Amino acid sequence: LLVNTFKWAVLGTAVGILAGLGVRLYLYILNHAIGFGHALDRFGIPHFWLLPLILPLCVLLAHITTRQKAHDDLESQEGTDAVIEAIHTRSGRLDPFAIPVRLFLSILTLFGGGSVGKEGPAAQIGALFSSLLSDLLRLSDEDRRRLVICGVSAGFAAVFGTPISGALFGVEVLYLGRLEYPVLFPCIVAGIVGHLACGASPPVPVLVPGNGHAHQLSQPMLVLLSLLSGVFFGLVAMLLIETMRFLDQQLRRFASHPFWVAVFGGTALAVLYQLAGSGYADLSEPLIRSALEGTARIMLLAFLVKIIATSLSLKTGGAGGIVTPLFFIGSTAGAAMAQILHLPVPLFARFGFVAVLAAAANTPIAASVMALELLGGHFGVEAALCACTAFLIVGHRSVFSSQYLGYSKA
Amino acid sequence: LLVNTFKWAVLGTAVGILAGLGVRLYLYILNHAIGFGHALDRFGIPHFWLLPLILPLCVLLAHITTRQKAHDDLESQEGTDAVIEAIHTRSGRLDPFAIPVRLFLSILTLFGGGSVGKEGPAAQIGALFSSLLSDLLRLSDEDRRRLVICGVSAGFAAVFGTPISGALFGVEVLYLGRLEYPVLFPCIVAGIVGHLACGASPPVPVLVPGNGHAHQLSQPMLVLLSLLSGVFFGLVAMLLIETMRFLDQQLRRFASHPFWVAVFGGTALAVLYQLAGSGYADLSEPLIRSALEGTARIMLLAFLVKIIATSLSLKTGGAGGIVTPLFFIGSTAGAAMAQILHLPVPLFARFGFVAVLAAAANTPIAASVMALELLGGHFGVEAALCACTAFLIVGHRSVFSSQYLGYSKA
């Protein structure tokens, strides 16, 4: 076991370094691409009007490079989902040419303002490097599978800036209600190293207790509120999942015309942004931050707009992840709830942040640990309770269709 | 699912209140009993010389009340183990008369200075109340089993003072390498409520970063050290498990004379305390605290003394838990290692604290979460890595013989 531990510590470190540096490069390019997109706004027409062109281009490129039926590509454009599927069905074997194309597509989607996340591509980078490393070391299928899980964990840890919960997310997201213990150790090694190599900071500063945000609430009241808000966040997550499923079913009958679907999706998105504001486009990080800080008064239905934008982006041809949109939806839903009920906004925005993640991705443990990483021991406890409640509410639904059912919830 | 969530929230709250108040009362009595024991020292002879009388008394009382073969009682005197077994084999059905006796025995053992823990009895209190509540509500066997797990979680959360990791410990300790997701939610409810109802504070204050303890270490160095120390803590946990097993085998041939075994054990313990110091007796909380604070220079082999004392106490008739001794062994081993290598003592004592728990009880997730609860986001990350390493090192060994093997580690 000592040899085994040593072997996996070394492998985890190697994957962590590769994935961390890869994600770092990816984030660098991505930031410039998004900045370039915003720079185009100076020419009078907002850059998101490029979407009706960009989404069909994504579909076309995906079609050329993967040589599959076009609609199949549409279905697996969500980065994390594609990786989960590869781990479950092909021992993590990935097409080394398809991934760079997908990364390029996700950058293109975000450049145009598609509402997708940056962590799906990060997971793909981690998976790609670990798959290549497995080829190089001629690992067995079982070892390859584990190493790819490590790569995914490292990718998440690097891009979220939260080493432990990022790594746990990579392990927990594979199954609904099951955790694979044997990969825990190398994944945490890979997560920590990946986080260090990437150097990204956590999405939000840790909320220090005692800055007056929640002092008016007694502890039992806080527990009750976290239970009730957990139910609310669970319903929000359910709404997202059902919206995506509904859109998927409606678009299925146009499956033979993927380009027109993409043109329609891009146009609809552009109209939506024109009406609701360009803050909902791309990663929407300024809005997430202001929701968490409670500085801006956010439109109460912001989370609904984002749900529609994300469903459209992912289902009509855009490439990218879904977790960053989840963060947006959760934190704005929490902020809206807190505004209506006159509760401390930063606290409940954070509750929503982790609870919607827990519910939509079925990762209560990773979300609870993230709550502790982001909130500290004080409010992290209640946030974890809120996340577990939300997780229970969504039942066996999931935003990741390739997630396996490991254990029944009821 | 909404109804189900509500039902379990209410049940979890009820169990949390009952278990929390029960543990509060138990801790109150226990503190007075230990204080009374220490007060007896004024009469010249240290109170731990009562052990050669107390341990046979424990065996006798256990024998009378349970009417089983005496040696069988000896085996299941570890409180947590007894509860795990009841959950696995009898849907958590417990003998409502045996538990109060066991609680009394654990208080007696700790009064005399036996080296056992207070969390085993706390788990039994939680299990007892939840079992009685199940009888009252006429729950089905499956629901009863879940409710008893909640009770155990609430007991741990209350007695440790760490709601989330206490609750997770109750869920994770049932299996080696598996986590039962369906009970997660009610257990966390019960844990938080139990913690509030009991009002016990965490065993150690959260280590605030920036108080200069670890600033001389670079991050990569810290990661490497947490890996290496994880191996060390894993070996320490292995030594404890093997010592207990060895003692068990040696004493098995005297199984027909349990009273003489108890007399021998009590005498050996008293001699050990006379030689090594009475700080190793009962809960040893002052020594744990000084190891964690790095204030006292602790004997380098303190953890070895405690391993022998704990094995003797539990295997020759004493009743109680094993986790408090694990905290002692882990924190002193960490402090000793840090002293030899000139590393920050408070930091590595905390690493040992969580890592030995993770390894000996096979609860890496609960220990990692405890690391985050006790250390905060900054060093908690490395402590979690250390805990996972140690967990891996011990293989399929465990201090809890009734733990089921859920998943192979290798």
pLDDT, tens digit, 9 for 90 and up, residues B399-409: 776 676 555 55
- In the A/B pair of chains, how many CB contacts fall below 8 A? 144
Q: Of A406, A401, A408, which is closest to residue A83 (Cα–Cα)?
A: A401
* Residues of chain A positioned with their CB less than 8 A from the CB of B170: none
Distance of CA A136 to the CA centre of its chain: 29
Note whether B372 contacts A373, CB cutoff 8 Å: yes
Q: Of A351, A343, A349, A336, which is closest to residue A381 (Cα–Cα)?
A: A351
Domain ranges of chain B: 2-198, 219-405
Note whether A185 contacts B389, CB cutoff 8 Å: yes
Residue B176 has, within 13 A of its CA and on its CB side, a CA count of 22
ipTM above 0.90, yes or no: no
* Residues of chain A positioned with their CB less than 8 A from the CB of B365: 179, 184, 365
Note whether B409 contacts A182, CB cutoff 8 Å: yes
**Which of A164, A381, A408 is opposite residue B368, by nearest beta carbon?**
A164
Note whether A1 contacts B392, CB cutoff 8 Å: yes
Alpha-carbon distance of A168 to A384, in angstroms, equals 14
Note whether B376 contacts A377, CB cutoff 8 Å: yes
Note whether B388 contacts A188, CB cutoff 8 Å: yes
Note whether A372 contacts B368, CB cutoff 8 Å: no
In CATH, A219-405 is 1.10.3080.10: yes
Which of A368, A385, A405 is the best mutation test for B, with the most CBs of B within 10 A?
A: A385
pLDDT in tens, B251-268: 888 877 778 888 888 888
Alpha-carbon distance of B17 to B20, in angstroms, equals 5
> Cβ distance A270 to A37 under 8 Å?
no
Which of A10, A388, A405, A408 is the best mutation test for B, with the most CBs of B within 10 A?
A: A388
Residue B111 vs residues A293, B244, B302, B328, B380: alpha-carbon distances, Å: 52, 22, 21, 18, 35
Alpha-carbon distance of B410 to B396, in angstroms, equals 9
Nearest-neighbour CA in chain A from B272: distance (Å)? 33
* Residues of chain A positioned with their CB less than 8 A from the CB of B227: 9, 189
Which DSSP letter does residue B202 get?
P
Alpha-carbon distance of A329 to A303, in angstroms, equals 5
> How confident is the model at residue B74, as a pLDDT?
41
Give the mean pLDDT of chain A: 80
* Residues of chain A positioned with their CB less than 8 A from the CB of B177: 181-182
Nearest-neighbour CA in chain B from A240: distance (Å)? 18
Amino acid at A310: T
Q: Of B386, B380, B372, B383, which is closest to residue B163 (Cα–Cα)?
A: B372
pLDDT in tens, A119-134: 888 888 888 888 888 8
Residue A308 has, within 13 A of its CA and on its CB side, a CA count of 13
* Residues of chain B positioned with their CB less than 8 A from the CB of A241: none
Q: Hey, do A2-198 and A219-405 end up sharing a CATH topology, with the first three levels equal?
A: yes
* Residues of chain B positioned with their CB less than 8 A from the CB of A188: 368, 384-385, 388
Q: Per-residue pLDDT for A64 more than 90?
A: no
* Residues of chain A positioned with their CB less than 8 A from the CB of B385: 188-189, 192
Which of B392, B393, B405, B409 is the best mutation test for A, with the most CBs of A within 10 A?
A: B392
For residue B237, give the H/E element and its range. Answer: helix B219-252
Please give chain B's pLDDT, 410 residues, in tens. 677 778 888 888 888 889 888 888 888 888 888 888 888 877 777 777 887 888 888 887 777 766 554 444 444 556 777 778 778 777 777 777 778 888 888 888 888 888 888 888 888 888 888 888 888 888 888 888 888 889 889 988 888 888 888 888 888 888 776 777 778 888 888 888 888 888 766 655 555 544 445 556 777 788 888 888 999 999 999 999 999 888 888 888 887 777 888 888 888 888 888 888 777 777 777 787 777 777 766 677 888 888 888 888 888 888 888 888 898 899 889 988 988 888 888 888 888 989 999 898 888 888 888 887 777 656 777 888 888 888 888 877 777 766 765 555 54
pLDDT in tens, B323-340: 888 988 998 899 889 888
Which of A2, A153, A372 is the best mutation test for B, with the most CBs of B within 10 A?
A: A372
Q: For residue A320, what are the β-bridge partners?
A: A78
End-to-end CA distance of chain A: 37
Note whether A1 contacts B182, CB cutoff 8 Å: no
> How confident is the model at residue A280, as a pLDDT?
79
**Which of A189, A196, A409 is opposite residue B182, by nearest beta carbon?**
A409
B2-198: CATH architecture: Orthogonal Bundle (1.10)
Q: Per-residue pLDDT for A233 more than 90?
A: yes
